[in-house]
Homo-oligomer: A and B are copies of this chain.
Amino acid sequence: MSEQPIDTDLVARENAARQSALERDYEALGEQLDRRGIPIDAIRDKVAAFAVAIPSWGVGTGGTRFARFPGPGEPRDIFDKIEDCAVIHQLTRATPTISLHIPWDRAEPALLKEAAARRGLAFDAMNSNTFQDHPGQHHSYKFGSLSHTDAATRAQAVEHNLECIEIGRAIGSKALTVWIGDGSNFPGQSDFARAFERYLDSMKQIYAALPEDWRLFTEHKIYEPAFYSTVVQDWGTNYLIARELGEKAFCLVDLGHHAPNVNIEMIVSRLIQFGKLGGFHFNDSKYGDDDLDAGVIDPYRLFLIFNELVAAERRAVPGFAPAHMLDQSHNVTDPIESLMLSAVEVTRAYAQALLVDRTALDAFQEENDALMASETLKTAFRTDVGPVLAMARLRSGGAVDPVAAYRASGYRRKVADERPAARGTGGGIV
């Protein structure tokens, strides 16, 4: 096993204190699942194999346009971020990869690989950034990037994405995620059709540079930072993009990027059916792109999405291999704690979805027994799979209770001493 940031003896002691209760609960649940014809150990093993990527930016404290309130021990650079990610994976055993964001995480590739490998981590999808202006940049993205009316600005944005691919290639990534802020704040500001044509043209250049074994993920979002229209506003447009680009292009679904009331699990189903589901940015939301911790607002919705994923797995949909990533903004919690619990929560939804009696569900659907079909899902959702998740962690060397172990370890206090506060508070963007 790789070097671990948290003392493994401490984790062992923490686990020991919880082990007997866990075994009792696991046994009781096992007996109940057995009555339902489900072997608990098989679920546990599937859970143990499940993984979700951590976005490098997630380990820093987030903020809003009104303010950012940093916490102690904020990571100062990508190496600090890798360290924090290692904590998350050590305790949850569910987050073996990190998703980098360029230019924020720019560093010598060899050093990046070495730092990650030392902690037993690897790199997930690369994320480009053309929604901000960066020092030394020639053209501003104030009025767009890949869809900008100015060809030189578009070229610069394309070039940046190519650089992201290069870095990714060097560190073992296999995918590029493109999210842009392009759009408009006023009716008339942008010609929808021309802007989309320019976007597609830029994306084709990026797609052309994609290595053979890579995937390209595009992400839609209904609004913010543009407040009247966005170029990639919904899954309909996102699907058109993926189809126009080619077979390595797929759609990424962020749970907070939809209009109010939209049925997200249905979008997931459509994208699977038409071969274009790329993966997810998991988080939760009540209003807009709130970027809250996965499952804290509507855990049943998260379950319903995994219900589609497990159903597709079971149908053995060709080429079905969605990428899982958290994408959250932690404004009022310790980011490490939020990311640990969110990884657990996503895994929980997966475990619950594995418990759905799909033979019964198929029959109820066929007979239009809506009530029992619903109950079949609810029965799976209501099952407290906590013991399964904890047992999977325990057997993989993680923590039975990740937050408790983390708090006991004093990691945050330690890094607070090591990492001097740097960035000031946000200012006056209202």
Contact = CB atoms under 8 A, between A and B. Distances in A.
A236 B236 CA distance: 4
Contacts of A189: 332, 365, 368, 370, 373-374
A322 interface: no
B273 A196 contact: yes
Contacts of A267: 236
A239 B293 CA distance: 32
A107 to B, nearest CB: 16
Given A192-B270, A261-B260, A329 B225 contact: no
A13 interface: no
A428 to B, nearest CB: 6
A57 to B, nearest CB: 6
A301 B298 CA distance: 8
Contacts of A63: 65, 429
A265 B265 CA distance: 25
Interface stretch (A156-164, A280-288, A391-399): A280-288
A290 B227 contact: yes
Contacts of A185: 290, 292, 331-333, 370
A229 B365 CA distance: 14
A274 B224 contact: no
A190 interface: yes
Given A225-B67, A263-B228, A296-B187, A368 B149 contact: yes
B186 A285 contact: no
Contacts of A184: 332, 370
Nearest to A137: B425
A237 B236 CA distance: 7
Contact of A236 (B235, B307, B365, B368): B235
Contacts of A333: 185-186, 370-371
Interface string A292-311: 11011111110010011001
Taken together, the copies of this chain in the complex come to 4
A331 B21 CA distance: 45
Given A188-B365, A193-B272, A298-B298, A288 B288 contact: yes
Contacts of A239: 236, 239-240
Interface residues of A, number: 127
A217 interface: no
A373 B383 CA distance: 22
Contacts of A300: 187, 297-300
Given A65-B64, A337-B371, A377 B187 contact: yes
A373 B377 CA distance: 27
Contacts of A31: 24, 28
Interface in A311-369: 311, 329, 331-334, 337-338, 341, 361-362, 364-368
A372 to B, nearest CB: 7
A186 B236 contact: no
Given A181-B66, A188-B361, A233-B263, A368 B228 contact: no
A180 to B, nearest CB: 11
Interface stretch (A3-11, A44-52, A91-99, A138-146): A138-146
Contacts of A143: 332, 368
Contacts of A288: 223-224, 287-288
A124 B32 CA distance: 39
A267 B430 CA distance: 24
A338 B371 CA distance: 7
Interface string A379-412: 0011110100000000000000001000000000
A247 interface: no
A41 interface: no
Given A186-B370, A337-B371, 6 more contacts: A62-B430, A149-B365, A223-B290, A227-B285, A329-B430, A382-B386
Closest 3 pairs between A and B when the two form their complex, measured CB to CB: A236-B236, A28-B28, A259-B259
6 contacts: A57-B430, A64-B224, A132-B428, A186-B374, A236-B239, A293-B371
